[in-house]
Amino acid sequence: MSRRVVITGMGVIAPNANGLASYEEALRKGQSGIRHVEEMAAAKFACTVGGVPQGVDALAEQRFDQDELLAMNMSHRYCSLATLEAWLDAGLERPARDDDHVHWDTGAILGTGIGGMDTTAAKVVPLTDAGKVRRLGSTSVEQVMASGISARVSGQFGLGNQVTTNSSACSTGTEAIAMGVERIRAGLAERMLCGGAEAASHYIWAGFDAMRVLNRGSNDEPERASRPMSASAGGFIPGAGAGVLVVESEDAARARGARIHAEVAGAAVNCGGHRGGGSMTAPNPESVRRCIDLALGDAKLTGDDVDAINGHLTATGADPKEVGSWAAALGRGPGELPPITSTKSMIGHSLGAAGAVESVASVLMLKGGFVHPSINCEDVHPEIEPYESSIPHTLRELPEMRVIIKAGFGFGDVNACLVFRKWEDGA
């Protein structure tokens, strides 16, 4: 029998809150973190609102030394802050910087969809084009390399197991957790810091605006702009942040007497191969259903066991198809589908971080016995209307919740799905 894998710590930087306690409060209240973004307006974006975490630099200055901060761009700051919170939340001790101990059994899979493009755009390109390469100094490579965030964290915590950065567009954060689970089950690590980070940068978001996949119709009402499952959903709202989960073998967690948030009962990743309606930008519905099936099968559960769904649900035309895929995969049609909610309705779509930030939300809901509101869909999309009773427009208390399922779908037709189960000691 394969090893059970549990979550012992979490940390989060999100547009509507930093830190677990504030984040749970914001989720319960249905608090939006979407605001006007001046850089988007100045650059003539059609969408001029986004989800930008607040107060991050001040937090980073409290938690990290000056020499570290000089080499930490936005995604490094988000990721390091979320990792530090997760590490301490797991009951682990923050190592001193001159402590030579290496945690050989602990690694990190921390992903990003886009990487350090904010640094590339603001420094590397202009200085290189101006013939001033020398002025890039020593810190540009580590901030633009894809693995920058995991490399940063490995030094902060003395990690000695696999340390890497995965990238699978908008399924990155979800995939990172699935990969950590696999590694622990295989006996190759006892503890993995898993999640993702994405910077807030109009350079990162520009291409999405050009694709016309961002909502351009709600600039005057930022808090109402992210509208998953709504008839008036006109595209997603770009966001940013980081979510990190300490994923650990049950044995290791028990051995050190760690408090357990939840079990990762099942995990799956797959791809639709750009077939059957799938493409670079749209998921093959069969692959979505298979991914959900695989995750449930991995957890040895069926669709009837699922008490709540935290969907990918971005507020594009894909939402109705996604709801249909959930219903088909769980075998639960209108009136039977469990509550389905979208964290993105409050924080927008944080791309490579989304699956991680939303997995943190999922575990908080599971632990707290609630489903957070999916805001801004008072006008439910006509194709989703049959499932209206499953949409929590306001906070839904669900104290008996035992299983919540979370999926992320990304460009490239890639999918990742996680099944979180309430941790009942001895279960």
Binding site for another protein (CB under 8 A): 66-67, 69-70, 97-98, 134-135, 137-139
Active site residue 372: no
Q: Please give the backbone phi and psi of residue 371, each rounded to the nearest 5 degrees, phi first.
A: -120, 125
312 is catalytic: yes
- In angstroms, what is the minimal distance from the CB of 100 to another protein? 14
End-to-end CA distance of the chain: 15
Q: Which of 349, 377, 381, 417 is catalytic?
A: 349
Are the C-beta atoms of residues 86 and 193 closer than 8 Å to each other?
yes
* Least distance (Å) between residue 102 CB and another protein: 19
Least Cβ distance, residue 155 to another protein (angstroms): 11
Alpha-helix residue ranges (DSSP H) falling in 211-340 = 250-255, 285-298, 319-330
Q: What is the nearest approach in angstroms of another protein to the Cβ of residue 137?
A: 4
Cα–Cα separations (whole angstroms), residue 381 to 21, 369, 414:
32, 27, 25
**Cα diameter, the chain:** 64
Minimum Å gap between C-beta 98 and another protein is: 8
Coil, strand, or helix at residue 321?
helix
Choose among 105, 104, 88: nearest CA to 10. Answer: 88
Q: With respect to another protein, which residue has the nearer C-beta, 62 or 66?
A: 66
Catalytic residue among 261, 312, 372, 381: 312
Among 170, 291, 377, 417, the one annotated catalytic: 170
Spell out the alpha helix ranges (H) of 120-159. Answer: 125-129, 140-144, 148-157
Residue 196: strand pairing partners: 111, 243
Q: Is 47 annotated in the active site?
A: no
State the Cα–Cα distance between residues 41 and 64, nearest whole angstrom.
32
* 390-396 long-range contacts, CB within 8 A, separation 24+: 390/337, 390/338, 390/339, 390/340, 391/229, 391/339, 391/340, 391/341, 392/339, 392/341, 394/30, 395/28, 395/29, 395/30, 395/370, 395/371, 396/339, 396/370, 396/371
**Smallest Cα–Cα separation from 52: which of 190, 204, 232?**
204
**Least Å distance between CB 117 and another protein?**
22
Active-site residues, by number, are 170, 312, 349
